[in-house]
Amino acid sequence: MLFIVSGRDKPNGLDARLAHRDAHRAHYNALGVDLILAGPYLDGAGEPIGSMIIMRAENQAAAEAFASADPYWTERVFAELSVSRWDWFMKRPEGLNS
């Protein structure tokens, strides 16, 4: 199953984000082929203000458990975190199984 993990930073959180960026990226890179895509949300000035990740997991509980272990969440960079099951039906890469 595919899931969208969406986290929004606390206000004025750029310094905290930068301090934990390497650990955050390592966390999601550990998914290997189950990491589909990822990138930051940007404000009007192009500064990161959150993150969006599409990942594969066995079920909702597994996706939530993995997302809640993200250093941006555990180190309180994110003000909010959501995990939603997702169906990629338009322009889905050939061979991508959900």
- Using CA of residue 75, residue 50, residue 42, residue 32, what is the dihedral sign? positive
Which residue blocks in the chain are alpha helix, DSSP H? 14-29, 60-68, 71-74
pLDDT of residue 90: 85
Distance CA 21, CA 61 (A): 25
pLDDT of residue 98: 62
pLDDT of residue 71: 98
| Domains located in the chain, CATH noted | 2-86 (3.30.70.1060)
Record the pTM.
0.91
What pLDDT, in 10s, does the model give residues 18-77?
Answer: 999 999 999 999 999 999 999 999 999 999 999 999 999 999 999 999 999 999 999 999
